[in-house]
Amino acid sequence: MKETRGQGLFTSECTGAGGQEEATVIEFLPSAGYRLKLANEDLVVAHAAGAAQVNFVRLRPGDRVRVELSPHDRTRGRIVELLKRG
């Protein structure tokens, strides 16, 4: 069995099980969280990850984003990309 200590929910081994989907930002939540609506009408709580957080990408309600879902909890995820506006 492989050692997994110190790895979060979004390791490269787990991303295949979680997958990425397109979503729309619905509302802002405390602590830099966002509520998103997926194409299948499911609601997800997500946070900005990686370059989106470092480069201070400003998200607004109605923006379309690509979200990587946790394979352990399908109601949690992280925003990995802001899709083109307009």
Q: Which domains does the chain have, with CATH numbers?
A: 19-82 (2.40.50.140)
Q: Is the dihedral of CA 61, 65, 68, 69 positive or negative?
A: positive
pLDDT of residue 82: 87
Span 6-54, pLDDT tens digits: 555 444 444 455 789 999 999 999 988 999 999 999 999 999 887 666 6
pLDDT of residue 46: 95
pLDDT of residue 34: 94
Q: What is the pTM of this model?
A: 0.72
What does the block give as tokens for 30? 């405390």
The backbone region for 72, taken as left when phi is positive above 0, alpha when psi lies in -120 to 50, beta otherwise, is alpha
Question: Amino acid letter at 33?
Answer: G
Higher per-residue confidence, 57 vs 70: 70
What does the block give as tokens for 56? 């201070």
Higher per-residue confidence, 7 vs 86: 86
3-class DSSP state of 5: coil
